[in-house]
Chain A
């Protein structure tokens, strides 16, 4: 169908110009800039600040140096910590808890459901520093609410942020981000025709059988969408820094914090650029898979 366009080509380009300029300078340019910087020894001050030298792959070789790759505080160790953080807090934590919540309240809409849902959303929309501060107080060894409860029921009072830092940021991130999975899964469950489930009930299926054989296959694309998005977000989040600063002794130094330390505490921008470049390549892989799914969904619709 040939449709007359409302905006002519020049007018359209004019309308696109301001946003296009912003996107070019702050999204597209950094992508190429970071690649260029990562091949130099650029620093903040000193001789190499003004005249950075081309060092080829030196930053990458240093980053992937097999002799120390997995040592504490090095890139490999940071990647492993990030993998643990993403796997336990996003994939196992947020996605499963979100699905559990959506399923638990399926068919139970009412004030109880909307209260719990609102509480999860509040945890999700509050600013980063405020929730980090709240958790800082919550996890305090001597006075924190969590240890007040645990010692009241005789479970001791561990020093969460010092002795169990990774567990702490994983719990924190589950609490922080479950609302997204819950909302998406709730709306996915809402789109399943009730007749599907009624037939299964008549046939004598238990709740778990219904979940496994009917619900999960029907919301498969939603599950993949949730998994990819929360993985991308958790991989890129800087919020653990607000709770632990990456410590103690690099035990929670996920790649975002590793980049920050390399670039802004040691001011090795060439090196920090190389880390950022690796992060972007990983992001790109996730984004391409996700876009593929979006497009095939649109094609089906």
Chain B
């Protein structure tokens, strides 16, 4: 009997603790999941009297918000994603397969430098360099700076991936007389494609959510990505914009959650969480 009582007490303790942890993570987001569907939402948490999509219609009618989301954010995150994925794959392949000396030192040196030269510590020289190139207030500036910042971690993850692939196919192709580019393109590339997918998703999500770089490099409202648009909505304006911002935030978050689910379903969480800049 005593044993039985202890078991029940243990169960109660477990579920109570789990509820406590769950509410800690859920409560701050609860409002954001309800407010977008309530046309009369204030900052107060309450169920809408009627479920409505009117807030989303207002978002789609707002040209500034829509351009920021479907044009600027997509362009900047997509551009950096393509550049990071291609250059990181080439570099990781070279670090893994070439006769260059000291590739380990290069790889670790990269990671060291990138954790020292962070976006916040380096905002002054990055701004001055972009200013010097005459690229202030351009999409290209945002894409280039993000690419440079994400590359070291991308190369690091990608190199791990290439290292884990057996060399025998590439070696036999080489013996058969294929050029290095053909060996890379026809044999290695199809095998490392899952790794490239992970890098692509990771880079996209990082740029999509990035705030500081576009915030300091862009000036005209027509080029702002959604991250900066949301900040300007809630920091500069008053409550009238609350419903719009809530709906907009949800739309902006959706791709991140979907990509996470996709990577989690396809490759497991490990890749996604490996390194977060």
Q: Which residues of A contact B (CB under 8 A)?
A: 4-9, 11-13, 15-16, 18-20, 22-23, 25-31, 33-34, 37, 42, 101, 104, 108, 112-113, 115-116, 119-138, 140, 142-146, 148-149, 175, 179-180, 183, 232-233, 236-239, 242, 245, 255-256, 259-260, 263-264, 269, 272-273, 276, 279-280, 283-284, 286-288, 290-291, 294-295
Proximity bits, B33-74, A CB within 8 Å = 1, else 0:
001000000111100000000000000000000000000000
Q: Among the listed stretches B1-9, B24-32, B189-197, which one makes contact with chain A, having 4 or more residues with CB under 8 Å of it? A: B24-32
Q: How far apart sit A220 and B266, CA to CA, in the bound complex (Å)?
A: 32
Proximity bits, B110-136, A CB within 8 Å = 1, else 0:
111111111111111111110000000
26 contacts between A and B (CB under 8 A): A6-B98, A15-B98, A15-B184, A19-B91, A23-B152, A28-B113, A112-B14, A112-B15, A122-B257, A125-B272, A126-B253, A127-B256, A129-B228, A129-B231, A130-B32, A133-B32, A137-B242, A142-B44, A144-B44, A145-B45, A175-B24, A183-B273, A238-B211, A238-B212, A283-B117, A290-B115
Residues of B within 8 A of A129 (CB): 209, 211, 227-228, 230-231, 249
Q: Which residues of B contact A (CB under 8 A)?
A: 14-15, 17-18, 21-22, 24-32, 35, 42-45, 83, 86-88, 90-91, 93-95, 97-100, 108, 110-129, 144-145, 147-149, 151-152, 155, 167, 170-171, 174, 180-181, 183-184, 205, 208-212, 216, 227-228, 230-231, 234-235, 242, 245-246, 249, 252-253, 256-257, 260, 269, 272-273, 276
Structural contact, B116 and A280, CB atoms closer than 8 A: yes
Residues of A within 8 A of B227 (CB): 127-129
* A280 in contact with B121 given A108-B14, A238-B211 (CB within 8 Å): yes
Structural contact, A135 and B115, CB atoms closer than 8 A: no
- With both chains docked as a complex, state the minimum distance between the C-beta of B76 and any C-beta of chain A, in angstroms: 13
* A280 in contact with B117 given A26-B144, A33-B128 (CB within 8 Å): yes
Among A26, A238, A255, the residue within 8 A (CB) of B148 is A26
Given A34-B121, A140-B43, A280-B121, 4 new contacts (CB under 8 A): A6-B183, A104-B18, A126-B257, A145-B31
Structural contact, B29 and A122, CB atoms closer than 8 A: yes
Question: Which 3 pairs, one residue from A and one from B, show the smallest C-beta to C-beta distance?
Answer: A26-B148, A12-B98, A127-B209
* Total A-B residue contacts, Cβ distance less than 8 Å: 298
Structural contact, A180 and B276, CB atoms closer than 8 A: yes
Q: How far apart sit A9 and B170, CA to CA, in the bound complex (Å)?
A: 16
Structural contact, A116 and B22, CB atoms closer than 8 A: yes
Q: How far apart sit A208 and B24, CA to CA, in the bound complex (Å)?
A: 24
Structural contact, B125 and A37, CB atoms closer than 8 A: yes
- With both chains docked as a complex, state the minimum distance between the C-beta of A167 and any C-beta of chain B, in angstroms: 14
Q: How far apart sit A140 and B149, CA to CA, in the bound complex (Å)?
A: 35
- With both chains docked as a complex, state the minimum distance between the C-beta of B27 and any C-beta of chain A, in angstroms: 6
Structural contact, B91 and A143, CB atoms closer than 8 A: no
Structural contact, B144 and A22, CB atoms closer than 8 A: yes
Among A33, A113, A137, A291, the residue within 8 A (CB) of B112 is A291
Structural contact, A138 and B28, CB atoms closer than 8 A: yes
Closest residue of chain A to B173, judged by CB?
A6
Structural contact, B151 and A180, CB atoms closer than 8 A: no
Q: How far apart sit A226 and B99, CA to CA, in the bound complex (Å)?
A: 34
Structural contact, A5 and B253, CB atoms closer than 8 A: no
Residues of B within 8 A of A26 (CB): 126, 129, 144-145, 147-149
Q: How far apart sit A294 and B111, CA to CA, in the bound complex (Å)?
A: 12
Among B98, B171, B242, B253, chain A packs the most CB atoms within 10 A around the CB of B98
Residues of A within 8 A of B210 (CB): 128
Among B127, B144, B210, chain A packs the most CB atoms within 10 A around the CB of B127
Residues of B within 8 A of A131 (CB): 28-29
Residues of A within 8 A of B211 (CB): 127-129, 238-239, 242
- With both chains docked as a complex, state the minimum distance between the C-beta of B3 and any C-beta of chain A, in angstroms: 15
Q: How far apart sit A145 and B32, CA to CA, in the bound complex (Å)?
A: 11
Among A22, A37, A135, the residue within 8 A (CB) of B28 is A135
Q: How far apart sit A269 and B129, CA to CA, in the bound complex (Å)?
A: 12
Structural contact, A16 and B231, CB atoms closer than 8 A: no
Q: How far apart sit A280 and B113, CA to CA, in the bound complex (Å)?
A: 10
* A133 in contact with B98 given A11-B180, A128-B227 (CB within 8 Å): no
- With both chains docked as a complex, state the minimum distance between the C-beta of A29 and any C-beta of chain B, in angstroms: 7
Structural contact, B91 and A16, CB atoms closer than 8 A: yes
Q: How far apart sit A64 and B215, CA to CA, in the bound complex (Å)?
A: 29
- With both chains docked as a complex, state the minimum distance between the C-beta of B124 and any C-beta of chain A, in angstroms: 4
Structural contact, A16 and B180, CB atoms closer than 8 A: no
Structural contact, A19 and B45, CB atoms closer than 8 A: no
Among A6, A9, A116, A145, the residue within 8 A (CB) of B174 is A6
Q: How far apart sit A146 and B45, CA to CA, in the bound complex (Å)?
A: 10
Among A23, A238, A284, the residue within 8 A (CB) of B119 is A238
Structural contact, A33 and B98, CB atoms closer than 8 A: no
* A287 in contact with B87 given A8-B180, A276-B123 (CB within 8 Å): no
Closest residue of chain A to B255, judged by CB?
A127
Residues of A within 8 A of B28 (CB): 123, 131, 134-135, 138, 145-146, 175
